[in-house]
Amino acid sequence: MYLGIDVGGTHTDAVALNEAGVAAQVKVKTDQTDLLASVNQALRGILETVKPEGVRQLNLSTTLSTNAIVQGTTEDVGMLVIPGPGISADEFMLCRDYHVLDGTIDHRGSETDRLDERQAQAAIKACRAAGVRVFGCVGKFSTRNPLHENTMRQLLGADSDYVTLGHELGGRLNFPRRIATAYFNCAVWRVFNDFATAVEKSLAELGLGHVRVNTLKADGGTFPLAQARRMPVQSIFSGPAASVMGIIALCDITRDSVILDIGGTTTDIAVFVDGQPLVENDGINIGSHPTLVRALKVRSIGIGGDSAINVLGEAVRVGPTRLGPSLADSIPAGAGLPVNARPTLIDALNCTGACVHGNVDASRRGVAEFATLHSIEPGMLAEQAVAAAAEAIYKATQELLAEINDKPVYTIHELLEGRRVAPGRVYLMGGPAKAMQESVRQRFELFTVVPEHFGVANAIGAALTRNTASLELFADTEKGVMFIPALRHRENVPRTYTLADAERDAMNHMLAHLSEMGVFADRDNAQITHASSFNMVDEGRTTGRNIRVKCQIKPGVAFTLNGQPPVQPASRTTGQSLRRATGQPAGPPTGKTGGRG
């Protein structure tokens, strides 16, 4: 049995499932001040149906690290950066204890200026005096040569709780992002580790001590909790990825498609190419800081079921503001409307007959009042609001596709022969998915699919998401060095080392690393995503090869539920009916363990 828990901003969703289908599902309200309590509550709900000994794996997606950053409950980090020449490192100062040190590594990984160790010692001393216990050491081009970062770790010695070295974050180039990523990794390190320890303790108490625990990442994969303890920054913003992976688990996607996750406040848009989710080129932004945290390419727009309807001149719009829940959800049956009640998208959908959700009468009255206020016929207002929502989603999708198709490429072959992404299907999920299906179909003029279980696709995605891993290899045969930054692996290679050797080494190191962590990774899911080799020439002679290889375990799910019977009889006993009555798709399923407040 696989367990998936998605701790979201509003709800915590949990499911237990196996190849036969979903065995149990729970939805509880998230207590933002005590995420552990929400996780425990969800687990207990699941264990009402499922026996602990049958559970093999728990995948956890949490907003813990994100919350810590947003709420400012992170700890002080000592940042020791070694920029060398270029854009002034003062530009990237993101915390108080930020020290810029002298020393230079160039783009080939040659040390062109020694690290100033006395300056470094002084900086460390200053940080310690300020009470700093965690440190990030980041050098420009440390992914080509980690010498300075490694020296910094030695200088820090044993007297610090945790140290993040820039090159351990992966081999991609981008010094400012490396600084920000190292910083956030340190900043949430303690809060994440405390949480992980508490979760492990709870699991032991609930008889789930034997369960393998994975944490979700934003790139549509998971990594073992032990690994997450070292790289907690990777667990950030995993929510949208859980939903996208849910769609993969529920539908057999094989071609270019658009995925729309329509929630209460936002719609997340993702694009699949040949049935594979696209990963962001660079990484996500945390606050205003771009990072190296890999993520699925997901565009969020402020259109959701609870988005308020506006009238601006002649134009009817929806969102991006959310003024609380819809009238259908907030007005008890028979009660009157408050003054200036603002209808939302859900209310409009109730009026057009696209759904029958909550207090339909309140929706009708609210839309009618609002329409009168703006001298529009109520039916027309509702229709235009729904059309406006579909239009906004369509426009954002087109922009995302344009961005994907206009992504810079660096070879003539890719530029001239590169294929354009042209989605042929739209998959919808989230609360209002079913209600929006028809208007989305009309606007996109594409075949639309709303899978069963679409309301808890996120938790299903969390449960079934596989481990992913990625790494970059860099080799310079003139220097005779091969380096895999993420694994801190550096070895000497002969001058005859070729691109094929590098590809093989990259794959083998990645799979070996996974197996060391106790993860079984199918070689079939491993792929080389970039491989290039350049002859380096000096005075007309070839002096060596500059080789770069990237490989990854592609995102995927353990198995799909497509065509499986949707509900096992056992789950009904918890009242978690997945098969909802037709015409009532907009609300989340309610059960005895939770529900909307």
Closest distance between other proteins and the C-beta of residue 473, in Å? 15
Give the three-class secondary structure for 68. helix
Q: Is the peptide bond before 85 cis (omega within 30 degrees of 0)?
A: no
Report the candidate in 89, 94, 107, 30 with the shortest Cα–Cα distance to residue 63. Answer: 30
Give helix then strand counts, H and E, for the chain: 17, 27
Q: Is 415 in the site for other proteins (CB under 8 A)?
A: yes
Query: 106 or 391, CB closer to other proteins?
Result: 106
Q: Is 541 in the site for other proteins (CB under 8 A)?
A: yes
Closest distance between other proteins and the C-beta of residue 226, in Å? 31
Token pair for 479: 């220097």
Report yes or no: 451 and 247 within 8 Å, Cβ to Cβ.
yes
C-alpha 328/C-alpha 350 separation (Å) is: 8
Q: Output the CA torsion 177→178→182→187 (10° steps).
A: -10
C-alpha 139/C-alpha 165 separation (Å) is: 9
Q: Is 470 in the site for other proteins (CB under 8 A)?
A: no
Scanning 446-539, the segments in alpha helix (DSSP H) are 457-464, 499-516
Stretch 139-168: interaction string toward other proteins, x if CB under 8 A? -xx---------------------------
Q: How would you list the strands of the sheet with 470-476, edge to edge? A: 489-492, 481-484, 470-476, 541-553, 526-538
Query: 166 or 246, CB closer to other proteins?
Result: 166
Q: Which of 20, 56, 70, 112 binds other proteins (CB under 8 A)?
A: 112
Stretch 200-239: interaction string toward other proteins, x if CB under 8 A? ----------------------------------------
Query: 262 or 502, CB closer to other proteins?
Result: 502
Q: Is 136 in the site for other proteins (CB under 8 A)?
A: no
Using the contact rule CB under 8 A, the part of the chain among 39-47, 154-162, 404-412, 551-559 near other proteins is 404-412
Using the contact rule CB under 8 A, the part of the chain among 103-111, 263-271, 299-307, 446-454 near other proteins is 103-111
Q: Is 494 in the site for other proteins (CB under 8 A)?
A: no
Stretch 166-205: interaction string toward other proteins, x if CB under 8 A? -------xxxxx----------------------------
Q: Is 530 in the site for other proteins (CB under 8 A)?
A: no
Report yes or no: 462 and 6 within 8 Å, Cβ to Cβ.
yes
C-alpha 400/C-alpha 388 separation (Å) is: 18
Query: 92 or 454, CB closer to other proteins?
Result: 92
Q: Is 420 in the site for other proteins (CB under 8 A)?
A: no
Q: How many CB atoms lie within 10 A of CB 335?
A: 11
Q: How many CB atoms lie within 10 A of CB 258?
A: 25
What residue type is assigned to position 310 of the chain?
A: N
Q: Which of 34, 51, 71, 87 binds other proteins (CB under 8 A)?
A: 87
Q: Which of 73, 121, 254, 542 binds other proteins (CB under 8 A)?
A: 542
Closest distance between other proteins and the C-beta of residue 339, in Å? 42
Q: Is 477 in the site for other proteins (CB under 8 A)?
A: no
Token pair for 132: 């700093």
Q: Is 282 in the site for other proteins (CB under 8 A)?
A: yes
Stretch 379-398: interaction string toward other proteins, x if CB under 8 A? --------------------
Annotate 72-110 with b (16+ C-beta within 10 A) or e (fewer): eebbbbbbbbbbbeeeebeebebbebbbbbebbbeeebe
Which are the contacts of 366, defined by CB distance < 8 A and separation ≥ 6? 327, 331, 337, 341, 342, 343, 347
Closest distance between other proteins and the C-beta of residue 361, in Å? 49
Which are the contacts of 571, defined by CB distance < 8 A and separation ≥ 6? 22, 23, 24, 25, 49, 577, 578
Using the contact rule CB under 8 A, the part of the chain among 78-86, 128-136, 263-271, 560-568 near other proteins is 78-86
Q: Pairing between strand 470-476 and 481-484? A: antiparallel
Q: Is 539 in the site for other proteins (CB under 8 A)?
A: yes
Using the contact rule CB under 8 A, the part of the chain among 115-123, 342-350, 400-408, 504-512 near other proteins is 400-408
Q: Is 537 in the site for other proteins (CB under 8 A)?
A: yes
Q: Is 332 in the site for other proteins (CB under 8 A)?
A: no
Closest distance between other proteins and the C-beta of residue 406, in Å? 5
Q: Is 32 in the site for other proteins (CB under 8 A)?
A: no
C-alpha 575/C-alpha 22 separation (Å) is: 13
Q: Which of 310, 352, 546, 560 binds other proteins (CB under 8 A)?
A: 546
Which positions touch other proteins (CB under 8 A)? 83, 85-88, 91-92, 104, 106-108, 112-113, 140-141, 173-177, 282, 290, 406-413, 415-416, 532, 534-537, 539-542, 546
